[in-house]
Amino acid sequence: MQNILEQFSNELAEKISGAQKSVVQISVGRGALGAGTIWHADGLIVTNAHVIGKRNLHVILPDERALPAKLLAYDANHDIAALKIDAQHLPIIPIGESRALKPGELVFAVGHPWGVIGAVTSGIVIDASASLPEMTRGRDLIAVNLRYRPGYSGGPLVNAEGQMVGINTLMTGPEVGAAVPVHLVKAFLRELRETARVDAREYVAV
């Protein structure tokens, strides 16, 4: 039994380690430090709208390169933002299916709590449809029983396969966190591309 558990733990840690390689730091020049996720190898990054600032926006890559970032668009209602940096061949995160999440499913939050780079915490899905009383009405959120400390915001919520299923967003009750489901991120990027709010040379993958 111990060997089986060790094997499971090692395999899980390896998958989460793969996801960590695509998590960046986002600095807005006033000491605040949030997280973001590399969505496309050509420098497209997704995060929360509440993480970003309008000036002095920089992204720090896992290899410690600090690059200025351009804000492409943001949606304050769904708390999603898209950034672009001038970089190539970046490690991207596998994308999962948020609509397939089930209550009791194991998930992991990756971010930079209190400045600890690439930290991970785990919990389970409480409700994938955000019908809990303490959840914000009118918002499509994933409820999870893990605690988001400052610095997890904007980082990925990851399933046991190491796939991104949401964006860590907020605490909404005791031991209850909320994440923006990844299907909303896909819709946001699709609209961004279709409304031509991105320069034609800047490829936004969905």
16-74 tens-digit pLDDT: 888 899 999 998 766 667 899 999 999 999 999 999 876 788 999 999 999 999 999 99
| Cβ-count burial 47-64 (b if 16+ within 10 Å, e if not) | bbbebbeeeebbbbbbee
Contacts of 186 (CB under 8 A, 6+ apart): 95, 206
Fill in the amino acid letter for 181: P
| DSSP state letters, 5-41 | HHHHHHHHHHHHHHHHTTEEEEE-SSS-EEEEEEEET
Helix (H) or strand (E) holding 44: strand 44-47
Task: Indicate which residues carry an active-site annotation.
Answer: 50, 79, 153
Contact indicator for 193, 200 with CB cutoff of 8 Å: no
Contact indicator for 14, 177 with CB cutoff of 8 Å: no
Query: What confidence tier does 203 reach under pLDDT thresholds 50, 70, 90?
Result: very low
Examine domains 2-93 and 98-185 and report if their fold is the same. Answer: yes
pLDDT at 206: 40
List the structure tokens of 136: 């914000």
Chain centroid to CA 8: 24
CATH code that applies to domain 2-93: 2.40.10.10
Place of tokens 């949030």: 34
Task: Kindly report, residue by residue over 89-129, the tens digit of the pLDDT.
Answer: 999 999 999 999 999 999 999 998 887 888 898 999 998 76
- The CA distance from 115 to 5, in Å, is 31
Residue 76 sits at φ, ψ, to 5 deg, of -65, -30
Contacts of 198 (CB under 8 A, 6+ apart): 72, 73, 192, 204
Closest CA to 62 of 90, 82, 39: 90
**Spans of all domains in the chain:** 2-93, 98-185
DSSP letter for 95, please: B
Domain 98-185: which topology? Answer: Thrombin, subunit H (2.40.10)
Closest CA to 142 of 154, 155, 160, 124: 124
The proportion of the chain whose per-residue pLDDT surpasses 70, expressed as a percent, equals 86
- Collapsing DSSP to helix, strand or coil, 67 comes out as strand
pLDDT at 30: 64
Q: Which of 45-49, 74-78, 83-87 has the lowest mean pLDDT?
A: 74-78
